[in-house]
Structure 1
Amino acid sequence: MDVLGLIGIASIFTAGITIAIGSIGPALGEGLAVSQALHSIAQQPDEANTITRTLFVGLAMVESSAIYCFVVSMILLFANPFWNYFINKALEAGTGKLKR
């Protein structure tokens, strides 16, 4: 297997692990937050508007970490900075000159 294939395998594996781990944490955190918010609303129904507003702000902040993991995995799959370097090195080795 050549170096370009290894870079592809490593990129795909890393993107998968990033999404897997990066989505489990926020999912558990959001579930816990919703559970506690519902418990709080059940105990103090008069404060439901304040609790709900605070819950949505907190959920947006927790969800942003999952979105960051998604962005990192998309960069690894579609805009990997190592691809061009290794493609140019392979072309240089094969033809004796650099493509760019």
Structure 2
Amino acid sequence: MTTILDLAPVLGEITGSVQSGLAAIGAGLGIGLIGAKAAEATGRNPGASGAILTLSIILAALVEGAFFVAALVK
């Protein structure tokens, strides 16, 4: 029983690292999808490139904010 209790801090660090890694992967995928869809939308409607750029920057910032929250919870 003592060995399980001794491993608790180590397991906490491992799960925190896994959580941060998954958050980074999710943020990377999210920003990649935002960029891909923004490029696709700009290709379809070049006149709306300013609005598309603004929206994609806002969405990328929200994804990064979610990543920072997940990284800080660790």
Q: Normalized against structure 1, the TM-score is what?
A: 0.64
Give the Cα–Cα distance (whole angstroms) in 2 for the partners of residues 19 and 39 of structure 1: 30
4+ runs of 1 displaced by more than 4 Å? Answer: none
Provide the aligned length of Structure 1 versus Structure 2.
Answer: 72
| Rg comparison, structure with higher value | 1
Whole-Å Cα distance in 1 between the matches of residues 4 and 26 of structure 2?
Answer: 35
Counterpart CA distance in 1 for 2:15 and 2:4 is 18
Aligned position for 2:70: 69
Higher relative contact order (CA 8 A, sep 6+): 2
Higher helix share: 2
Match of 2:8 in 1: 7
Task: Report the equivalent of 1:50.
Answer: 51
CA distance in 2 between counterparts of 1:46 and 1:7 reads: 57
Shift of 1:2: 7.8
- The answer for unaligned runs of 5 or more in structure 1 is 74-100
Alignment of 1:1-100 (within 5 A): 1=3, 3=5, 5-73=6-74
User: Over aligned residues, Cα RMSD in angstroms?
Assistant: 1.5
Q: Which amino acid aligns with 1:22?
A: A
The TM-score normalised by the length of structure 2 is: 0.84
Identity %: 21
